[in-house]
Structure 1
């Protein structure tokens, strides 16, 4: 029986820890540092070690004889936690620091895509303002996309509608230091039209196993308006990824990426997440790579996963993923994020959350905690994205209805959420019919 450590404290980590705790081959799950939600799960314990305390995490793993470490957030992966753990003889699921550059540097990622002829948007990268502005002045088509090169918690992307907005974004990133080191280099790329989808696989360096498809909602407000966020909701499966799109994604994106990383002497082990834009003809292009599970896609996907996640992760580490099988609940699942009003900009914290019943377990719905903490025996808000409310249903419409009904029972003074999670799928379905 496996003892497992999950690293992180968000909704993604709550979902991973919960799913791992249900595995028939798991004895106990530790979460460092975890959150109040993970603390309520059966056979799950929070450990007061910071995500960035790599030596402390290694010492904990050795002292507890941890069989598997699953890393939630991207920063530790880009910092080389897998390399450090592996050197200490610990099974740590995720890519090496070298392979994690696929997410850690947008410029590296775009150069890789270009090198291996993997479909993506046209781009240019810059480290100084004047050449970037000159490039923008030569562009005839708006909107245009400006991205911070490094890690920016999913918020380092600006979709500029005109030159004025693009100029402001370039200034903010390269001169205003709005994203710190992440914005010292920027990528400017063409704006792709179509529908987004998240395509995630478990890779072992040579082979891979696809996870359930999903669709995230990055913009803060209904109708995909407002600033980019870490994600305001997700659902699975994504209807836009039909059989033809699925096969095109495997053949033109996933296989060449796994092969290319191997040829570049940095085999990719871990969750490889391809953020896709699918055009009207069903052709997928890569918007971005992530080297870990997405948040909030993890939450609804983990609701549908029925296989032992620890066994899949260990199989990947042991380069044996090709011999594994994966089972899914055939129902759809939708998750809506409840956030603090104002997120991702300035927002308050400390509001008391009411309506959560920790003692009731539902077979078809669940709340995953993210930005929460316990204060004076009350559960209070402690971040921009606070909760992700998920529900299973016979289709996306039923899952949406159940998730929003459940979400309406939870309240605090400055609660905010989108009301249209899943509507793209429903619209796509009606167009097909």
Structure 2
């Protein structure tokens, strides 16, 4: 059994690690794939570019949605309109067009006295932005400071000219992952992600600074509500619109104080870094589920089994991330012995090929903003935290940093 995993981040590294532990041979090049093999698409860009459609036309099994079904992620506006059509709970929004006119419309809207009482508000790009195209503004001044960069400069490099202004939903974030072949589905344990760059959830949004699983904030009652009001209507709605969804559906949720769930966003792939904690916690095999999805036989598979306890990951980053950062720094500490319940997944690294005074031949060096994912299991959430941070503290490079509060308990804001 051979699998090619598309993508080179921490998410993909954890999938490869899980499959290798199941005895699956991991292919390196797409040219080596045949119709007897299987391809897993990790990131969102290949989905937007139609890679699933292209490969399926060649008879190659693919775990990932089609280009059109992937619009649940690749167009936030399309996803919002889809949710409206199928009565799926989400925050109220308005749509504007990038440019001077659109910016003026937003300014006029947000100077209205009634509107100004609704802060904070959310400014969200329609197109893909690597997890960074969302800004939460707490007051009118913050809006005035940021909207020229979004409406005129397109600082997030979105491919779309549409921008959403959305109500802010206060509550607890949770990540829901659904494996589906379009007709049947299985839900995985709920995760909690930490998006903002700084301790205490301050600073700009990132691709994700850490995550843990499971989250105790999702009760059995809330799970049933999510399934009835969101998961089932989403999959049924896609079928009704002739867009059968296959692969992993990631539903970003906000649970308000009353326990009501709202969809913040859809993603058409595993979350990063949530995938890392799910792979670490999964006890049963992953490959049979992936294969069953490609064969439309997910109903023939048992529900996945997970280890008791918790998993937590800490994302170690380059100085300056999520803004500008430098790469090429040698990483110290990777050769130190680590406990069996800790894995280090590589998100933005490469092997050096030069030998000089600062670098040994073959040393790991930084090659991205999010560099390493130190991921641990533990009998409790606090135990998993101690295991992950105990290893993260032994690793460093010039300018490296990470959040120190991943998995800490917080009240709903």
TM-score by length of structure 2 reads 0.93
| Alpha-carbon distance in 2 for matches of 1:308, 1:78 | 28
Out of 41, 61, 74, which is 2:33 matched to? 61
Corresponding residue for 1:136? 110
In the alignment, structure 1 residue 397 sits paired with structure 2 residue 397: no
Q: Secondary structure at the match of 2:33?
A: helix
Once the two structures are TM-superposed, the CA of residue 381 in structure 1 deviates from its matched residue by 0.9
Corresponding residue for 1:210? 187
| Alpha-carbon distance in 1 for matches of 2:20, 2:382 | 29
Matches within 5 A, 1:37-186: 46-47=28-29, 57=30, 59-62=31-34, 67-127=37-97, 128-138=102-112, 139-140=115-116, 141-182=118-159, 184-186=161-163
Q: Secondary structure at the match of 2:203?
A: strand
Once the two structures are TM-superposed, the CA of residue 423 in structure 1 deviates from its matched residue by 0.5
Aligned residues of 1:146 and 1:169 also touching (Cα < 8 A)? no
| Alpha-carbon distance in 1 for matches of 2:36, 2:155 | 39
| Alpha-carbon distance in 1 for matches of 2:208, 2:164 | 21
| Alpha-carbon distance in 1 for matches of 2:73, 2:108 | 27
Once the two structures are TM-superposed, the CA of residue 60 in structure 1 deviates from its matched residue by 3.2
Once the two structures are TM-superposed, the CA of residue 131 in structure 1 deviates from its matched residue by 2.6
Structure 1 residue ranges without an equivalent (≥5): 31-45, 48-56
Out of 279, 295, 302, which is 2:256 matched to? 279
| Alpha-carbon distance in 2 for matches of 1:234, 1:95 | 24
In the alignment, structure 1 residue 194 sits paired with structure 2 residue 171: yes
Structure 2 residue ranges without an equivalent (≥5): 355-360
Aligned residues of 1:142 and 1:162 also touching (Cα < 8 A)? yes
| Alpha-carbon distance in 2 for matches of 1:176, 1:168 | 13
Matches within 5 A, 1:8-47: 8-24=7-23, 26=24, 28-30=25-27, 46-47=28-29
1:121-151 residue CA offsets vs partner (Å, 9 max, x unmatched): 0101111323333333332311110011000
Q: Secondary structure at the match of 1:223?
A: coil
Which stretch shows the higher mean deviation, 398-407 or 319-328? 319-328
| Alpha-carbon distance in 1 for matches of 2:110, 2:181 | 40
Q: Secondary structure at the match of 1:336?
A: strand
Once the two structures are TM-superposed, the CA of residue 178 in structure 1 deviates from its matched residue by 1.3
Aligned residues of 1:23 and 1:307 also touching (Cα < 8 A)? no
Aligned residues of 2:129 and 2:158 also touching (Cα < 8 A)? no
1:347-385 residue CA offsets vs partner (Å, 9 max, x unmatched): 121111111128x67431100011111113221111110
Query: Which has more helix, going by share of residues?
Result: 1
TM-score by length of structure 1 reads 0.88
Aligned length: 396
Once the two structures are TM-superposed, the CA of residue 183 in structure 1 deviates from its matched residue by 5.1
Q: Secondary structure at the match of 1:196?
A: strand
| Alpha-carbon distance in 1 for matches of 2:288, 2:59 | 18
